Amino acid sequence: MNELEKQEELLDKMNKAKNKIQNRITTLKKDSNVKRYLKLENDLEEINQDYDDLKYQYTLKKCECCNHLFAVSGIEEDYYEGRTYYEYGCLKCGIDTHLYELSDIDGFKPYIEYMKNNHLTPKNNTGLYYKNFNEFLDARELYLELKEKNKAASDKEIIKMLKMNKEKKR
């Protein structure tokens, strides 16, 4: 048997297996439980898309309405030129200048759209400095927890709590 005949035989076997599976799927689709399952999957896919669209719009609106509390979310030092560069992030809404570099990550797209469409001149209005983005993200989580536990507390009071927490870690 030559190489071409071997491939023809293999193609024939695979085609038979493929047809067998397709027939099983067709039979299963007639089952009422499978029909219900497929309908639920379709419904879930639709609601997931609607949810993602609404969450995107919500995130944009949250950024637009935010009275930003910026902290330094990263420090990069250029020893060659003797310069220090700062990244800034908002503890309240989550925008961060680091995100310009992460434009391909779906979860960050509304933040990036907001920053591109709005003139931002972030400044460290909290007095908080974090060495890197992950440290800032941890601080933001703590900010949100403290705000949830202390609903009556002002932003200034929450910032004081964050500063005390940072001092304890030193």
- Using the predicted structure, report yes or no on whether residue 102 has a pLDDT greater than 90: no
> Whole-angstrom Cα distance, residue 107 to residue 155?
26
138-159, pLDDT tens digit by residue? 999 999 999 999 989 999 999 9
Residues 6+ apart with CB under 8 A from 37: none
Q: Are residues 11 and 95 in the same domain?
A: no
CA-closest candidate to residue 86, choices 100, 76, 96: 76
Structural contact between residues 144 and 164, judged by C-beta atoms closer than 8 angstroms: no
Strand spans (E) along 37-143: 70-78, 83-90
Q: Are residues 143 and 85 in the same domain?
A: yes
Examine residue 49 and state whether it is found in any structural domain, yes or no.
Answer: no
Q: Are residues 78 and 151 in the same domain?
A: yes
Give the structural domain span for 98. Answer: 63-169
Q: Are residues 83 and 133 in the same domain?
A: yes
Examine residue 74 and state whether it is found in any structural domain, yes or no.
Answer: yes
CA-closest candidate to residue 66, choices 133, 7, 118: 118
Q: How many domains does the chain have?
A: 2
Examine residue 55 and state whether it is found in any structural domain, yes or no.
Answer: no
Q: Are residues 14 and 86 in the same domain?
A: no
- Using the predicted structure, report yes or no on whether residue 100 has a pLDDT greater than 80: no
Examine residue 110 and state whether it is found in any structural domain, yes or no.
Answer: yes
Structural contact between residues 97 and 121, judged by C-beta atoms closer than 8 angstroms: no
Q: Are residues 12 and 88 in the same domain?
A: no
> Whole-angstrom Cα distance, residue 166 to residue 162?
6
Q: What is the distance of C-alpha 24 from the center of its chain?
A: 39
Q: Are residues 15 and 98 in the same domain?
A: no
38-78, pLDDT tens digit by residue? 999 999 999 999 999 999 999 999 999 999 999 999 888 88
Examine residue 48 and state whether it is found in any structural domain, yes or no.
Answer: no
